[in-house]
Structure 1
Amino acid sequence: MKPQMTLLSCSKLVFKDSKDQILLDHVSLEVQAGEKVAIVGPNGAGKSILQKHLSGRLNPAMGEIKLHDKSLSAIPPLKRAQLMAVMAQSEQIEPLLSVAEYVSLGRIPHQHSSKAKEDNKQIDRAIKICGLEKFKDQTIQTLSGGERQRTSLARAIAQSPELLLLDEPTNHLDLRARADILKLVKGLPSTVIAVLHDLSLVHDFADRVIVVRQGKIISDGPPSESLSPAIVRDVFGMETLDVLHPVTGKPLRVYEAPHLETNIQTEKEFTYA
């Protein structure tokens, strides 16, 4: 087994909003090369804020972020773009661009260090990985929501990043498209940190799950530990149910709202004045 190498780390990150409210509260973590990490938590927990710090799009009030053991703030933007790619929740894409044209934007960070042949190779590779060959010459405006998400992902893959940061990559997608996107990402060689909101998708994707609440890390470990019934109940207010798939026998974890006891009166129990 190869020794693990820390690719990204942060130490005691603190971030406050304009009203001096703490949104990240002394957050520290390490991400090893090759890991697939999910960041989960209730709405307003600080997931996306943490992701934006890890990508360098926001600067902390306190603390430090390191990439390859070098302060992220000290890495020039061009070099940073060669090492990491970001797929935001809702990317603004020029609708008249073709799929190939948009994906090619991922090669901009490498335009002074690679040849056109290598750029085209990486563009074609990204389009193939994301299953977009038949849409290559279509304009963005003709694509479905799922196809646009895959196009955004292909642009990030074409960047050839060591680290891929995804913010709600399954947002607004149907169930099949969500599963397809995460299966695709799972197979990439890059280290991936993904903010996810659908707990049912986490187990098949993540090697490790970071649970965030009120700007703090509540749990950090394998899915079975970080999403234990006790933690899910405490953080999300949901109950967990472990079942076996009726056909494959595969263990499945289902999340559902707790059953509420209600006092329902029958017609005979009503007293009329």
Structure 2
Amino acid sequence: MTASDLSVDGVTLTAGARRLVHDVSLTARPGEVIGLVGPNGSGKSSLLRAVYRVLRPAAGRVRVDGADAWSVPVRQLARTVAAVVQDSGTEVDLAVSEVVAMGRTPHKRLLSGDTPEDTELIESALTAVDATGLADRPFDRLSGGERQRVLIARALAQQPSLLVLDEPTNHLDIRHQLEILGVLRGLPATVLVALHDLNLAAYYCDRLYVLRDGEVTASGTPADVLTPRMLAEVYGVASEVAVHPRTGTPQVTFLPGEPVPAVPAGVDHPVS
């Protein structure tokens, strides 16, 4: 597993007459963990779909290692990019180990069986997400959290150089949220991940892009981006942000019931 370079250049996405994302640009350098944050409906999932080639841009380009992701053959791209999506609709009558083995498909010839290397990668992926004990269980009888871990294992078995994840901590308990994000943080791959939990994003991501109404409203390190001003303007909440004394990363504390501070007109958030 290596790491890819991702460049999203001026991407606009539409659905009929509705604009989902407008003129969004971002970069992910090899080995970085890049977080997408923003309210519901801000365009995070749509942007990810353009990267893993489900939603074609109406304008702009997505480049992986310099190549237009929409011009590369699908099978070739699948050797580089893996995705874990929300509501994947994966309802299959397969054992967990067979679902994870599907991640090896882009690297194999049609109808070829698993090699010893495939088996090792499948077992390693299951171990990484604490799902070894689920290997023989029917996938369609798992809980939501168990399914999520298995789908992440499938993506890990794919050995991508760019891993794209849409809310990978959904359905997971706190322990598994931390373990999964720790695994992603330790990969020798580039990671683009949408997250709702801002404190998790602050701890595990190198840089953040804040989306609102389909546009990037701020970007930079978590310390640059996660400010009470940004949270008031983008999320409409009052908050305090401090540096945690042990982790050294920003920690957001929301202040329910307190008035949302006014944001001065004409003041921009950092975009880098």
TM-score (structure 1 length as normaliser): 0.85
Q: What are the residue-to-residue correspondences of 1:228-247 with 2, within 5 Å? A: 228-242=227-241
- Aligned match of 2:85: 88
- Aligned match of 2:190: 191
Match of 1:54 among 30, 51, 56: 51
1:40 counterpart = 2:31: no
CA deviation digits over 1:118-170, x for unaligned, max 9?
21121111112112122211222443322211101000000000000001112
Cα distance change on mapping 1:91 and 1:22 into 2, 3 Å:
closer
Cα distance change on mapping 1:65 and 1:260 into 2, 3 Å:
closer
Shifted more, 237-246 versus 36-45: the winner is 237-246
Instruction: Letter of the 1:134 partner, please give it.
Output: G
Which whole-Å CA distance do the structure 2 matches of 1:66 and 1:244 have between them?
35
- Aligned match of 1:17: 15
Q: What are the residue-to-residue correspondences of 1:58-137 with 2, within 5 Å? A: 58-94=55-91, 96-112=93-109, 116-137=115-136
Which whole-Å CA distance do the structure 2 matches of 1:31 and 1:242 have between them?
25
Shifted more, 80-89 versus 127-136: the winner is 127-136
Residues 4 and 161, structure 2, Cα contact 8 Å, conserved in 1: no
Residues 4 and 31, structure 2, Cα contact 8 Å, conserved in 1: no
TM-score (structure 2 length as normaliser): 0.85
Query: Offset at 1:85?
Result: 0.3
Query: Offset at 1:242?
Result: 4.0
Residues 48 and 195, structure 1, Cα contact 8 Å, conserved in 2: yes
Number of positions where the alignment pairs a residue of Structure 1 with one of Structure 2 = 255
- Aligned match of 2:150: 151
Instruction: Letter of the 1:148 partner, please give it.
Output: R
Q: What is the percentage of aligned positions where both structures have the same residue?
A: 36
Match of 2:5 among 4, 7, 11: 7
Backbone CA RMSD of aligned residues: 2.4
Gaps of 5+ in 1: 262-273
- Aligned match of 2:163: 164
Instruction: Letter of the 1:156 partner, please give it.
Output: A
Which whole-Å CA distance do the structure 2 matches of 1:30 and 1:62 have between them?
17
Gaps of 5+ in 2: 261-272
